[in-house]
Amino acid sequence: MNRDTLQKIYDAAVARALPRECLPAHLPNPPANGRLLIFAAGKAAGSMAEAAEDFYLDRHKVSPEKIAGISVARHGYGKKLRVIEMVEAGHPVPDAEGIAAAERTLKLAAGASENDVSLVLMSGGASANWIAPAAGISLDDKRELTRALLSSGANIVEMNCVRKHLSRIKGGRLAAALAPARVIALAISDVPGDDPSVIGSGPTVPDVTTLDDARKMIAKYGIVPPASIAEALNDPANESPKPGDKSFANTSFEIVAKPKASLDAAAQIAKREGYEPVLLGADLEGEARDTAVEQAALAIKHKREGRKSAILSGGELTVTIKGKGRGGPNQEYALALAIALNGTQGVCAVAGDTDGTDGGAGHADDPAGAFVDETTLARAKELGLDPAGILAQNNSTHFFEQLGDLLNPGPTFTNVNDLRAILVDS
């Protein structure tokens, strides 16, 4: 296995999206009057807040008394901050820490004045970290719905459509709370198409989806929600603010890191290592195992043609959970890829989430993905492993753990979604 090259490709994709590299050039000058309010949420929240503190406290010498804020990241993704409060909360299933942090965020936002500048730093994971349930919805009900959505196979756009209509902070509502202060949102995108209303469920931007859309999403996947959820989705008071709403009169939004840039960085490394980059897109969606079969066929075709290529793709694949194993879309993809390649000589691959963790139990030490090569199935057979049976149980973590082929970078403190790289040697 050309694991060193695969690791370099993955590392390059992550490095392109690190906040210390991509954020400072986009930060606004501090306000002449008033306070600088900094709100951060998501897997990169700690590192984005850290970069902002360095920018304002060190470069601009802003007095700490003029800065207030709160940063909420998933457990294990916090940073030691100097002024901004740092909170670690549940992901992908929300917890009490996320609710408490969201309430403090909304309280601080409500005190913003027209002289203040509110800097909102968004990254993937914010939807789970910022939890402010609509009236009548308990944390347990939100957790139950989240688990149902995660196991249903719904994509991130569909999930966030539902989330935006069950929240007091998502779907443009944070912007409403901050008015009339100037709101500048800067985001690291982890969603296909880089749609601002989907990143972190769009707390500072208008929402074009409706309560009816959210109800249809629930029905599409056969989810029977708790009674409080059903009632909330039928309550007109929970409709999200739309384009043209006065809440957005003094807001702006900019993406500082995109999946496409990280995919391009991966391609540069592949080319430097002597491979022909073949980019399939930075926003692929679909069932992980189905995508693996398609990409394995392409790799085999390249092998037959004598091409030395690096087949690269990004995006967010999904898993419809039917078994009771451990894994995530990247590990499931890798296992299905190994089965489809069936030991094809001269082909190896890595699939990993750029945030450093891939599904699993929601812990910071979960693997990010896995490596595959021509010996994967043979080594599995020697260990008595049944790849197809393990795939059916959604137990890909166990499979790659036994082989020693898990990708384990730990928290990367950024998130531009998944990276898949297949190297084909001529």
Select from 201, 90, 77 the least CA-distant residue to 140: 90
pLDDT computed for residue 290 by the predictor: 98
Instruction: Give, in order, the Cα–Cα distances in Å from 330 to each of 13, 391, 394.
Output: 15, 12, 12
Helices (H), 197-313: 211-220, 227-232, 259-272, 288-304
pLDDT of 134 strictly over 80: yes
Q: Alpha-carbon distance 369 to 319, whole Å?
A: 14
Task: Give residue 153's pLDDT band: very low, low, confident or very high (50, 70, 90).
Answer: confident
Task: Give residue 334's pLDDT band: very low, low, confident or very high (50, 70, 90).
Answer: very high
- CB neighbours of 227 closer than 8 A, spacing ≥ 6? none
- The mean pLDDT value for 408-418 works out to 95
pLDDT computed for residue 313 by the predictor: 98
Q: Alpha-carbon distance 196 to 205, whole Å?
A: 7
Task: Give residue 267's pLDDT band: very low, low, confident or very high (50, 70, 90).
Answer: very high
Same topology between domain 31-257 and domain 260-424: no
- The mean pLDDT value for 16-35 works out to 95
pLDDT computed for residue 361 by the predictor: 66
Average pLDDT over the chain, rounded to an integer:
96
- CB neighbours of 230 closer than 8 A, spacing ≥ 6? none
Helices (H), 123-170: 126-129, 139-152, 156-164
C-beta separation of 375 from 318 below 8 A: no
C-beta separation of 359 from 328 below 8 A: yes
Q: Per the CATH hierarchy, to which homologous superfamily does domain 260-424 belong?
A: MOFRL domain (3.40.1480.10)
Global pTM exceeds 0.75: yes
Task: Give residue 71's pLDDT band: very low, low, confident or very high (50, 70, 90).
Answer: very high
pLDDT computed for residue 359 by the predictor: 73
- The mean pLDDT value for 300-304 works out to 98
pLDDT digits (tens, 9 = 90+) for 364-399: 889 999 999 999 999 999 999 999 999 999 999 999
pLDDT computed for residue 133 by the predictor: 97
pLDDT computed for residue 1 by the predictor: 64
pLDDT of 264 strictly over 80: yes
* Domain residue spans of the chain: 31-257, 260-424
pLDDT of 360 strictly over 70: no
C-beta separation of 306 from 315 below 8 A: no
CATH topology classification for 31-257: Rossmann fold (3.40.50)
- The mean pLDDT value for 396-412 works out to 97
